[in-house]
Structure 1
């Protein structure tokens, strides 16, 4: 079966932009042309590929096709770079990861890759418990996730463990927890979470005090550094990556660990296709190397 490149491009554009109109703008054609090309592509494959919702989403079959097209695109870009080493073409790679990884250990890996590879990155930030879904859907070619089981055709490599500390300013702790962290204080003190999907604080409070979500006030501040800034400004208390806090004394910066005997450890994994293009293989190697040099050792066996 031959795949028409214009039909495939229309399909990818619709899924990535979420609409036929935006896909038409990207491809410099009319919306009608996008519709015709996508319909012809679906007919040739014998299955619907896109759910006509707002935004448009790939069907289960469409997700598999998107995965295939992304991998083919990487392989073609690598072949083109090998045949024309002096060319100026760039390979686009989509990676899904959580904000804390991006804000701490991932950037060193990214900078080392950019020095030797002609890659353009699109980084999709999502909670570490939800990045795996972006790989499954074909929206990403690799992901950092808490999921340890790879999907078919992929491998999952342990990266290490990210440790979190429950931090607040000393003034905040004196106001809300004058006798130390306890259930009554936790019912009143505002928490700072990244988003409504961020379960770090809610899981801790559920496990320690039996407090479900909604049983305490909560701010939502996205972004690793802005989230930590909200804690430093006394808006609330939150789980903060130990990598971000550093090894300096907390008291010297007006901060306190509310639960020093109960850090939260999150094991992270790198998921990528088992058969990779050279560029993607290089990316995977650098990501794994950078993570293992900065994160705590993983508490799982290699090869899981």
Structure 2
């Protein structure tokens, strides 16, 4: 009986799997740089040494972590591991920054985070809402701007710590919290309306008049044209202006008509500076803050500041409590 008990305890206690730090550092360097050569330079190793470490990690985990190519890219399992390693690195950096300022009378060191954000939020409500928190928390922020339908991909790829996106569903390991909805209106200058829409916008006139679009990912104008007139976006002449404020400037100066955030025009329609071509075509785009489920405390507090500010200026997201 004693021997059986001893055998049971020995068999039950097995060494837990752990990730080798050198192997994980090699994998993360390749995943972020996109090549073994650039990772080797960053790690002061040879490309073959980096490759051996990544291969050993893949063997241990029983998963392919990288698709070898130009550039190299992480597999689905690789993205999960990359996000874990990036979270761990961010939290370690924040801990060290906090400890560096403790007990010696010095201020905390800055922590660096990256945020993917839609250009219209960046041009309107976001920065004023973040400045107090960035200064208070001593955060150095890198902003990556893209369409709200595509910022989510930057978080999924491990290129940012958080993102503002239109997707309500959080990916695995992350949370998504509603910020509010940005309302867009189809507007043009009075002169443009007189020239192209003297009797109001119609299917025929909308097809002839030039429209101003953010970029080829921007689907707002296409949605309005399809729902109101059954038109495809490709049937209309388009100007592409890939920045929020220049796009509004292009509409104001009569280059074309387009969907712009209501926050950006602040009474311009009521003052007669712009014409709302289809008041019934206003679109509310719901925005969500996506971040890792486990994140550094400073980033979490920054997110709370952004959420509080957004809910003061944006439209409520349907189905949520303001």
Relative to the length of structure 2, the TM-score reads: 0.85
Specify which of 257, 264, 267 is matched with residue 237 of structure 1.
257
Q: Does 1:271 align with 2:290?
A: yes
1:265 Cα deviation (Å)? 0.9
Structure whose alpha-carbon radius of gyration is higher: 2
Q: Does 1:83 align with 2:103?
A: no
SS of equivalent residue, structure 2 residue 167:
coil
**Cα contact 1:64–1:137 (8 A) shared by 2:** no
Query: 2:113 maps to which residue?
Result: 93
Secondary structure at 2:29's aligned position in 1? Answer: helix
CA distance, structure 1, for counterparts of residue 48 and residue 284 of structure 2 = 51
- Give 3-state SS (helix, strand or coil) of 2:278's partner: coil
User: Equivalent residue of 1:206, what SS?
Assistant: helix
1:203-258 deviation digits (Å, cap 9, x = unpaired): 110111111231111121111112112212322111001111113455553x2111
Task: Give the Cα–Cα distance (whole angstroms) in 2 for the partners of residues 115 and 24 of structure 1.
Answer: 36
Pick closer, same or farther for the CA change 1:173–1:153 going to 2, 3 Å: same
**Whole-angstrom CA distance in 2 between matches of 1:144 and 1:185:** 35
Q: What residue number does 2:212 align with? A: 192
Residue 283, structure 1, aligned to residue 302, structure 2: yes
Alpha-carbon offset, residue 66 of structure 1: 1.3
Q: Which residues in structure 2 correspond to 1:109-128 (within 5 Å)?
A: 109-128=129-148
* Structure-2 separation of matches of 1:29 and 1:237: 55
Q: CA deviation at 1:84?
A: 2.5
Match for residue 11 of structure 1?
Answer: 27
User: 3-state DSSP class of the match of 2:281?
Assistant: coil
1:37-52 alignment, distance < 5 Å: 37-52=53-68
Seen in structure 2, the aligned counterparts of structure 1 residues 24 and 294 have a Cα distance that, compared at 3 Å, is: farther
Match of 1:55 in 2: 71
1:66 alignment partner in structure 2: 82
Structure 1: give runs of 5+ residues left out of the alignment: none
Aligned match of 2:122: 102
- Following TM superposition, by how much is the alpha carbon of 1:90 offset from its aligned partner in structure 2, in angstroms? 3.5
Q: Structure 1 pair 147/88, CA: closer, same or farther in 2 (3 Å)?
A: same
Following superposition, the deviation at residue 159 of structure 1 comes to 0.8
- The structure, 1 or 2, with the larger RCO (C-alpha pairs under 8 Å, 6+ apart) is 1
Cα distance in 2, alignment partners of residues 61 and 121 from structure 1: 28
Displacement of 1:46 in angstroms is: 2.9
1:111-153 Cα distance to aligned partner (Å, 9 max, x none):
1222112322222222112222322333332221111122233
- Structure 1 pair 78/297, CA: closer, same or farther in 2 (3 Å)? same
1:152 to 164, 168, 172: 172
| RMSD over equivalenced CA pairs, Å | 2.4
Distance 1:160 1:274 in 2: 20
In 2, distance between residues paired with 1:9 and 1:232?
A: 51
CA contact (8 A) 2:40 2:50 kept: yes
Q: Deviations over 1:9-33 (max 9, x none)?
A: 3333333333334444544555445
